[in-house]
Amino acid sequence: MACFTHTILTAISGVILMASLALASEVSPTITVGTQEVGLTAGYMFSHRLTDLHKTKQHGPALMPSWMITLTDPIGDSWYRGQISLGAEMVYLEFREPLLTHGVGFTPRIKYTFVALGRVRPYMEFAGGPFWTDLGGRIREEANQFNFVLTGGVGVSWFITPQLALNAGYRFHHISNAGTAYPNLGLNASLPFAGFSFYF
């Protein structure tokens, strides 16, 4: 885990250094149909036990590399003016309680980015797809190792150059097996995150 943390901190430091050298006081990002985005996001899960039956207090780091493509030019004429992007994301989770376990998933992802504020661009996102974890079958909330992960959240991108943005935000995170086995109470968590994206 020390190596994981060091790698993430090194990557973020590199992006900040690039930002300081970019002299991006007049950044005006132009995102058009077909623009691609490659990003890396890291965060930390904090569990939500929503009922008395939820006993597991899972928490741990998350790493999410992603790719997206812009599908639309800006839509609308007011504060909600924005663009739709579609793509995919890999999800790696490390569960530190009740025992050290791991999870890996693949999720199609859709994002709506608000463009009215120029270089500061809030967004909403949703993703969901298959997820495997060796925590499944070892806790009372999940019977299977094969599950599905669903996330929904909000964030903001700050463009430090026309091609490079820093991102931060929050996701609600849900893991369950969609009723393919029981018990299936599911695992729920908050996932604050930060990262960066390159556009080309």
Tens digits of residue pLDDT in 131-167:
999 877 777 777 788 999 999 999 999 999 999 999 9
Identify the domain containing residue 111 by its residue range. Answer: 2-199
At 180, is the pLDDT very low, low, confident or very high (cuts 50, 70, 90)?
Answer: confident
Asked, as a colleague might, if the bond just before 183 is cis with ω within 30 of 0, I would say yes
What is the count of structural domains for the chain? 1
Please give the structure tokens belonging to residue 66. 């992603």
pTM tops 0.85 = no
C-beta of residue 68 within 8 angstroms of C-beta of residue 112: no
**Is the per-residue pLDDT at 61 higher than 90?**
yes
pLDDT of residue 8: 52
* Contact (Cβ atoms closer than 8 angstroms) between residue 154 and residue 122: yes
Highest mean pLDDT (candidates 18-22, 99-103, 106-110, 135-139): 106-110
CATH code for the domain in which residue 14 is found: 2.40.160.20
